[in-house]
Structure 1
Amino acid sequence: MSLRVHIGTRNQAKIQALEEEIAEQSLNASVISLDVSSGVKDQPRSLDESFSGAINRAKVAFQHDSDFSIGIEDGCYHIDGKMLNISCVCLWDGNGTFLASSSSFQLPPTVQKCIEEDHVELSEALVKTGLSTNTNIGSQGGAIGLITQGQLIRKDYTRQALLNLLSSWKLQNDLSR
């Protein structure tokens, strides 16, 4: 049986991450992407807001023919006055949510200041501060790719969160065998 999985984004890095992780998890599934609103700010600035965006995206993407849907929301949060970035993910099966996240990383102080003072998204802050000239960085290597000099790119960073999510979901649904 092939599963139908809807994802609430048109971001190619996120879609590719889901397709690759589904294959890695040996799930027979087709992925359908839908352009949906997160229901939160363009640049979430707390864990609660980032997870809310992922939950909203998953619930809105769920269709009558979905087996489950996925929402992915990258956001920022503060610890000790520092701003960190994280990828939050949600699986909605029509009855309940499953949540997970990636590791997180600290943003440069100039980028943090730009996000906080100019109220812009991370990608725009990277351009405004001169760290990148790529206005489409969020759909490609992402901030993590820039900071790690390509050692970890956004697709793989997102896959990290999806690995955590799908592994937990499979375990809780006795599908891990």
Structure 2
Amino acid sequence: MKIIVASKNPVKINAVRLGFEQMFPNEHVVDVEGVSVPSGVRDQPLTFDETLTGARNRVDNAQTEYPDADYWVGLEGGVDLHGSDMAVSGWVVARDRDGLEGKSMTNTVYLPPKVAELVAGGMELGEADDIVFGTTNSKQSNGAVGILTGDVLKREEGFMMGVVGALIPHRNSELY
């Protein structure tokens, strides 16, 4: 099974590998390759709708550039305002060579006001996290959710659960 992940981020690539292994334990996951393709949305999506669009655009672009795969998976993290609070979540879109598409959100957590203020001011979440929490390159490691939970929940696990959700139609294709 060849899977193209529309990201070079090692957290996202590993989340896809783990999600496929969980959902298809009898399949041999041969190749999981991360590629860089544009999302077609802002670097920091500011609504969950924009975040889903970014994940879907990544799948479209990966499928166009790398057509010889069994699956293409796009993962996009973004924020959304709920009143005066800002939440962070991610969308995962998984498409197979027959065109069947599944999608799912990761867990959603609310950001501390200082982080939300920086993001609302135009900063990417990873950069805002690094400033507020004194970390470096957190978006390619534990991310906001890992920092805020003391690594009880890691970014990779959240994306892996999103991958599992996005693979439901593929595991149950007779229903979709």
**Common fold, TM-score beyond 0.5?**
yes
Unmatched tracts of structure 1, length 5 or more: none
How far has the Cα of 1:80 moved from its partner? 2.1
Unaligned runs of 5+ in 2: none
State how far apart, in whole Å, the 1-side matches of 2:152 and 2:93 are: 25
**TM norm structure 2:** 0.90
Report 1:30-69 matches (<5 A): 30-62=31-63, 63-69=66-72
Q: Distance in 2 between matches of 1:5 and 1:125?
A: 31
SS in 1 for 2:92: strand
Provide the residue aligned with 2:28 in structure 1: 28
CA distance in 2, matches of 1:110, 1:168: 39
**Root-mean-square deviation over aligned CA pairs:** 1.7
> Partners of 2:53 and 2:134 in 1: how far apart?
28
Counterpart residue number, 1:114: 118
**Which residue in 1 is equivalent to 2:95?**
92
Distance in 1, Cα, partners of 2:168 & 2:116: 33
- The CA distance in 1 between the partners of 2:161 and 2:119, in whole Å, is 25
Contact 2:79 2:88 in 1 (8 A): yes
Displacement of 1:173 in angstroms is 4.6
Equivalent residue for 2:17? 19
Equivalent of residue 133 in structure 1, options 125, 131, 135: 135
Matched residue type, 1:18 = V
1:103 maps to 107
- Cα distance per residue 1:70-107 (max 9 Å; x no partner): 00000001112211000100012353532111120000
- TM-score w.r.t. length of structure 1: 0.90
**Matched length:** 170
